[in-house]
Structure formats: C-alpha cells, structure tokens
Structure 1
C-alpha cells in the first residue's frame, strides 16, 4: 500500500495532514523562517539555507526574500536564476526550473490542487502535478502558474497572467487564461522595450 507521500509524488489523491507530510512541511517552515529573518547582506547564510532547503540550486542563483514553499526538496533550480520578492512555490510535486530564468515579484507556482466536490475537499483530499519551466524564461509580476503546466524555452509570460495550460517555446504569452500572443523573432534583438531600440 502506498504512503500518502508516495501518492502525492505520483499524482494520486492524498491526505496532506498525514504525519510524515506535516512533519516535512514543518521542517521546511523552520528553514524558511530562518531564511526570511536573515540580514539582507548575509548572503552566505542565505545560500547555505537555500542549499539545505531545496532539492537543487544551480550556480549564480539569487533569491530575494521573502520566499515561501511547502517542502523545498521538490524544487530544482538551474544556473543563473533570479527570483524577486514574494515568490511562493507550492512544491507538493516536482518543480523543475531551467537556466537563466527570471521571476518578477509575487510569482506563484502551484503544483497542488483540491477536488471540485466539496465533500471530498472537506475530507482533506489534495492532488499535485509537476510544473516545468524551461531555459531563458522571464515570468512577469503577479503571474500564477497552475498544476501540471510546462513552459518551454525562451518564453516571456506577461505580468498578471494565469497559466493554466502548457506554453510552447519561443513566444510571448499573456492573459487570464494565459495564451500565446506572438512568436519571438530576430527583430526582438533590436528593441529593449516596445519600439525603443538598443
């Protein structure tokens, strides 16, 4: 018989307040509390706590505080990552983030969800599906990424978007629900903002 943790990691319905999962979240909260109380100039301690908390933290990764997550060990972050203030990652399933990814303030990545049926929800059932973000991705402020989403490489997600479905590589996507606006082209190398040239 599968444990609640095994069910969580395998995309099956699970009970989140089972003792093992609760203890693991409490341990993560302890590390996150220590992390978010650090003096802003104490970068070595910040990096050490992040290395302890996360499943993988690439080189030259920088996380502005405060930061929040559920477990930590399900988060894998590539090289040259930057997360601005108030990043929240509900990592009940794997969250894999590639290289050269920028997260603006208030980005939320959710792998966890609850049943639509109120009775099942009230019984405490949850589910979790992985989120994957490719390389060279910029995610704008106040973006929400929902369970089971994959974002390709070289993508820009506009501020305030709610990403409910996969986003292909090499595009700008915006909106609620988030949809592809256009493909990124060689012409985009000429401009730094709208029609303002480098």
Structure 2
C-alpha cells in the first residue's frame, strides 16, 4: 500500500493532513522561518539553511528572503539561478528550475490540484472537513526569466531560453526560445 507521500508524488489523490506530510511541512516551516530571519550578510548560514530545506541546490543559487515553500524537499534549482523576494513555491510535487534562471519578486509556482466541482473536492472524514488534492510537477528550463507576480500552474513545462512577462498566468507548456505573457500566458514571439 502506498504512503500518502508516495501518492502525492505520483499525482494520485492524497491526504495532505497525513502525519508524515505534516511533519515534513512543519520542518520546512521551521527552516523557512530561520532562513527568512537570517542576516543577509551571513551567507554561510543562509546557504546551510537552503541546503537543509531544498531537495537540490546547485552552486551560485541566490534566494532572497522572504521565501516560502510547502516541503522544500521537492524543489531542485540549477546553478546561478536567482530567486527574488516573496516567492512562493508550493512543492507538493517536483519543481525543477534549470540553471541561470531569473525568478522575479512574488512569483508563485503551484503543483497542487483540486477537483473543480465542490462535491468532488470537499468531503467529511472522522468528523472533519477534508479537501481532495492531487499534484502535477512543474519543470522550468535553463536561462528562463519569469517576470514579477507571475503564477505557474501545476503540470506546466517552460522550455529553455524563455521569458515570461510580468503578471502572467502560465496555464500551458511554453516552448523553447520564446517570449510569452498574459492571462492566460501565450507565446507572442520567438526569441
């Protein structure tokens, strides 16, 4: 029988209030709090906290605080990528960001999915209200710039050498070497 964590990572419906997942969540929150409170001059402590929090972090990665994530362990960031302030990565599944990325302030990356129909989404279990959740990974290629206040939705793949305009809501895959923007985000030109 699969654990709730295994179900979560395979995209099956899972219980986000499972004790193992809650422990991972609380661990990530403690590391987030420590990182977000760390003196910006203390690069050794900041790097150590990020290495403890994230699944994979290559050399030269810089993340501005505050930074927020659900679990951290499902986030992989390639070398020399810069993540600006107030980004939120809800990593209920894998979030992989390639090398040389620029992630502007307030970018949100989501991997969790809920059924659209309320009666499919909300249920009662042991006297408490629960919500059905499943997940899809998000993959972002190398040399990608994501403009401020953009939202990347579950299951999206963004190719290499892509620029996403500020304020975009990325609902579908974006091919290599393109400029894409808008809500919903769409390719407006090849680069």
Q: Same fold (TM over 0.5)?
A: yes
Partner secondary structure for residue 89 of structure 1: strand
Residue 32 of structure 1: how far off its partner (Å): 0.5
Residue 120 of structure 1: how far off its partner (Å): 3.0
RMSD, matched Cα: 0.8
Residue 23 of structure 1: how far off its partner (Å): 1.0
- Please state if 1:49 is matched with 2:45: no
Residue 70 of structure 1: how far off its partner (Å): 0.5
Partner Cα distance (1:153, 1:8) in 2: 27
- TM-score, normalising length: structure 1: 0.91
Partner of 2:156: 149
Partner Cα distance (1:83, 1:2) in 2: 34
Unaligned segments of structure 2, at least 5 residues: 124-130
Partner Cα distance (1:54, 1:40) in 2: 18
Residue 155 of structure 1: how far off its partner (Å): 0.2
Partner Cα distance (1:42, 1:106) in 2: 23
Residue 94 of structure 1: how far off its partner (Å): 0.4
Residue 119 of structure 1: how far off its partner (Å): 2.6
Partner Cα distance (1:12, 1:151) in 2: 23
Partner of 2:13: 13
Partner secondary structure for residue 12 of structure 2: coil
Count residues with an aligned counterpart.
184
Match runs of 1:103-142 below 5 Å: 103-123=103-123, 124-142=131-149
- Give the stretch that moved more between structures: 119-128 or 135-144: 119-128
Residue 116 of structure 1: how far off its partner (Å): 1.1
Partner of 1:189: none
Partner secondary structure for residue 15 of structure 1: coil
Partner Cα distance (1:119, 1:18) in 2: 22
Q: Deviations over 1:109-137 (max 9, x none)?
A: 00012111213322321011000000000
